Amino acid sequence: MKKKIVLTGDRPTGPLHLGHYVGSLRNRLVLQETHDQFIMVADVQALTDNAENPEKVRASVTQVVLDYLAVGIDPTKSTIFIQSMIPEIAELTMFFLNLVTVARLHRNPTVKDEIKQKGYEESIPAGFFMYPVSQAADIAFLKTNIVPVGHDQLPMIEQTNEIIRKFNRLYGDVFVEPEAMVPPALTGRLPGLDGKSKMGKSLGNAIFLGDEADDVTKKIMSMYTDANHLRVEDPGQIEDNAVFMYLDIFGRDQAAVAEMKAHYQRGGLGDVKVKRYLNDELQALLTPIRERRKLFAADIGQVMSILQEGTAKVRERARHTMVQVKQAMKIDYF
């Protein structure tokens, strides 16, 4: 039986952090064993709100790929490619733009939320506004069956399927309607070290996969716990306590974590001891990732070869798709 095609990816605006590991990277390690997985480095999408800082995007491409390889993404099992090196995606985006209205893009809740977050109001870059159409092209050109996403991205898959249905209705069945996959690890967001928002590169509240051990320790020891837990003997709250939220995810011995929670709630357990326990757990996770990352970083030429090979493989698929598209649209003149 032919493996189903899965498309995942990240916008290269900096190295990846623990939030990415929880939200997508762990799932990719599983999917590469069971599916035909393609991982896109979405540099074109990154440029929609970084057009004035292309150096940042360029430098981040290798950083993101280093993180992929460090966590165990295997280029013999997963195909990693660069979005901008597949011009057929941009061509297909142009065709898809004719199948969606400005009013429909305005109604996309994911876009509305991101516009609000970035404070664009009426000064929205056109590329940013229409990136759901570009994303539809990203998904469609590979004839993707499954797209792993978080709940906040479900409207993007819905709009992708609307565009694909309209194309197939007008021109014939060329594309496959993808299914959104929301794995368990994507049902929640890892909070930032401050406990107030999700972990983010620009928020100063992230532990990066390549952070040195001392930096990880410093960040953990500064984490938000319970502001009212002033003395060791005082009962503490575990709700909205970032340290315990991390232990729920990264603690290897959940029975020990449960006992620690009970001890903290009844009093007699200090924040420092809990943070040290979390530090041990995260160091056990991050040390091998950090070491593998350094090995790959010592040979960037190898990393670029992996990207070049993956991109060439995808480019061939893209050419084949666009031949079918142009035949269906009656614009295959020669």
Closest CA to 38 of 295, 296, 309: 309
**Which residue segments constitute the domains of the chain, with CATH numbers given?**
5-190+300-328 (3.40.50.620), 210-294 (1.10.240.10)
User: What is the structure's pLDDT at 150?
Assistant: 79
CB under 8 Å, gap of 24 or more: what pairs does 133-136 form? 133/93, 133/96, 133/97, 133/100, 133/105, 133/163, 134/44, 134/45, 134/89, 134/90, 134/93, 135/45, 135/160, 136/93, 136/96, 136/160, 136/163, 136/164
The residue ranking higher by pLDDT, 195 or 216, is 216
Task: Please check the confidence at residue 143 and state whether its pLDDT lies above 70.
Answer: yes
Burial class (CB in 10 A: 0-12, 13-18, 19+), 169: exposed
Angle at CA of residue 6, ends 94 and 68, nearest 5° = 100
Mean pLDDT of 252-260: 96
pLDDT value at 119 more than 80: no
Least confident of 91-95, 175-179, 193-197: 193-197
- When pLDDT is averaged across residues 223-237 and rounded to a whole number, the result is 90
Asked if pLDDT for residue 116 goes beyond 80, the answer is no
pLDDT in tens, 61-76: 999 999 999 999 999 9
Scanning 41-174, the segments in alpha helix (DSSP H) are 43-47, 54-71, 87-97, 102-107, 109-118, 126-129, 131-140, 154-171
Residues 6+ positions from 145 with CB-CB distance below 8 Å: 4, 5, 6, 176, 178, 179
CB 143 within 8 A of CB 5: yes
Q: How far apart are CA 197 and CA 248, in angstroms?
A: 17
Q: What percent of the chain has pLDDT over 90?
A: 73
Kindly list the distances between the CA atom of residue 54 and the CA atoms of 30, 129, 212, 333, in Å, as whole numbers in the listed order.
33, 19, 27, 36
Check pLDDT > 50 for residue 186.
Answer: no
Check residues 186 and 327 and name the one with the higher pLDDT: 327
pLDDT at 1: 58
| Amino acid found at 131 | Y
- Count of residues making up the chain: 334
Q: Considering Cα of 113, then 116, then 120, then 122, what sign does the dihedral take?
A: positive
Q: Are 206 and 199 in contact (CB under 8 A)?
A: yes
Paired with 81 in beta bridges are 40
pLDDT band per the 50, 70, 90 thresholds, residue 187: very low
pLDDT tens, residue by residue, 1-42: 568 999 999 999 989 999 899 888 999 999 999 999 999 999
Mean pLDDT score across all residues of the chain: 91
Q: What is the pLDDT of residues 197-214, one digit of tens each?
A: 778 777 788 999 999 999
